[in-house]
Structure 1
Amino acid sequence: MPTPVSERVQKRRDTLRAAGLRPVQIWVPDTRRPGFAAECRRQAALVAQADQLDTGLSDFMDAALADLDEWK
């Protein structure tokens, strides 16, 4: 007779815990919710506007990228 799902799940959880891991619950935005896409567009527009107003941002990002290139 096959092992019940709850026992298999518990066995897997026990194995992961024995490996030093622990379960974490993460809540994320519901992308199916009405208005989600509109809110994404609104926030993206705010970020784009802030980027245009920050004249030093591009220089900072270029310097950070160059710094990463040196890590190779």
Structure 2
Amino acid sequence: MGRPKELTTEQRAELLAKGWRPIEVWVIDRDSPAYRAEVDRELDAIAEADRNDPGIDDWIIQLRGNLWDDEEP
């Protein structure tokens, strides 16, 4: 996928006059080896934490109470 069509000077000036501003958006590249390595590292850390404290799920359920339970109308 290439870059989007660049605006002409006139198009840019018109958008700026209407109150628009240009921004650049960066998104995660999920195919990146660096991203995948970080995900693997985080998942390994989560799994290790669960192995070290198997009661963590029960503690979280007690802590949250009924925060996410459906409320009656």
Higher helix residue share: 1
TM-score, normalised via structure 2 length:
0.48
TM-score, normalised via structure 1 length:
0.48
